[in-house]
Amino acid sequence: MPKDDLPQQIGKYYSVVFILPAAVLVGFVIGYLLDKWLGTGFFKIVFLFLGLASGMIELIRELNKDDGGK
């Protein structure tokens, strides 16, 4: 691995750390805002799980991209 490539690799793997928590947080916030707007109480949970699922999918895609899609 060339020396110039190391910061790029560190940046790529550092960003992977934030994919799942960010997706879960965004899902929860969307659900919270919908609950507040509609006066319900279940959208938080629904969108929390949707955020978790989308975060896991994106995490797997990102890690497969690093593997060369194997």
CB 29 within 8 Å of CB 46: no
pLDDT at 70 over 70: no
Q: What is the pTM of this model?
A: 0.78
Locate 35 and state its tokens. Answer: 């609950």
Locate 12 and state its tokens. Answer: 């790529």
Amino acid at 23: A
Best CA proximity match to 34, nearest among 25, 22, 23, 46: 46
Secondary structure letter of residue 3 according to DSSP: T
What digits encode the pLDDT tens for the residues 14-58? 888 899 999 999 999 999 999 999 999 999 999 999 999 999 999
